[in-house]
Structure 1
């Protein structure tokens, strides 16, 4: 698969639209289900690996054990999308108040500019998801709720959707899927 498979439909910060990002995460999720990428789980931290990246988009594989979450954050100047490969994730998102939605196995969600959310695995079984950001991430801001209002607490410059998470080399293999090309 090539980013060229997903033609440009818009002119805002990226040539890829939210619909194209969902298509990209769904296609990559199918590759993960087919065993083309290694999957690892870490009970303490979400595990992630960049599956591909170019000037237009980054695609990441992220695993989640029970109660692991991202904390409320945005993706700065990047659009985003995710598709759940296995398990179920809950998204808490800000829309003039905190709202919830469940993203089940095989389903996805897209994130426009300014979207603030927290993604969490509330289920007892692990979850696996594929995320895409376009343009590739350069920063993320984090938020708290303060009296029913959203308050930014800090921002980080990062190219990694998991800036505080260990790398592939730091995590022992636990119930890994067939080995694929896993790199950061």
Structure 2
């Protein structure tokens, strides 16, 4: 008696944080792509890119003095690299609870700050709370960002001293 075996389904592995970082660095070095992004003096501009392993990727233009405000990318791993100019990242070196809170008092010593010039990038894990800023008063910055899995939501925060307040939860339907 013969037995029929169903073929095994091979699913691609999710990209690692290191692979996401490699992607943003290589993409940020693509001078033709970076030059193709239209820049607006008043607001950020962006272009959707094909990221590795089904990830969500973006090329973003940052006018002088713009930023994201404090936020996280929920369950997604991510990476970004500066392609032009300098971006400043302020982040928190603490893992926040995923849900069930509106206000948290932060302990001393959790703040981190880094400047990322052209060619520099960083990867981050789930629930990474940060803000990204172009502090230049004259120059646009351009960066490449990638998230896996594609962003299920973004939580936006306000901060006053050591107090972090959840302000808004956005989903993909809010970004169209």
TM-score w.r.t. the length of structure 2 is 0.76
1:141 matched to which residue of 2? Answer: 155
Range with bigger deviation, 110-119 or 39-48 = 39-48
1:99: Cα distance to partner?
A: 2.4
After superposition, the C-alpha distances for 1:63-108 in whole angstroms (9 at most, x for unaligned) are 0011110010001111110111110000011125332110111000
Paired residue secondary structure (2:59):
strand
Distance 1:35 1:54 in 2: 17
Distance 1:150 1:85 in 2: 30
2:122 matched to which residue of 1? Answer: 109
Paired residue secondary structure (1:118):
strand
1:27 matched to which residue of 2? Answer: 26
1:27: Cα distance to partner?
A: 1.5
Distance 1:147 1:76 in 2: 23
Which aligned runs of 4 or more in structure 1 are off by greater than 4 angstroms? none
TM-score w.r.t. the length of structure 1 is 0.73
2:140 matched to which residue of 1? Answer: 126
Range with bigger deviation, 48-57 or 128-137 = 48-57
Q: Is the 8 A contact 2:15 2:52 kept in 1?
A: no
Q: Is the 8 A contact 1:83 1:109 kept in 2?
A: yes
1:35: Cα distance to partner?
A: 4.2
Give the aligned length. Answer: 149
1:150–1:36 CA distance, 2 compared to 1 (3 A):
closer
After superposition, the C-alpha distances for 1:37-85 in whole angstroms (9 at most, x for unaligned) are 6211112221011011576201110000111100100011111101111
Q: Runs of 5+ in structure 1 lacking a partner? A: 1-6, 9-14, 165-184
1:121: Cα distance to partner?
A: 0.3
Distance 2:16 2:173 in 1: 20
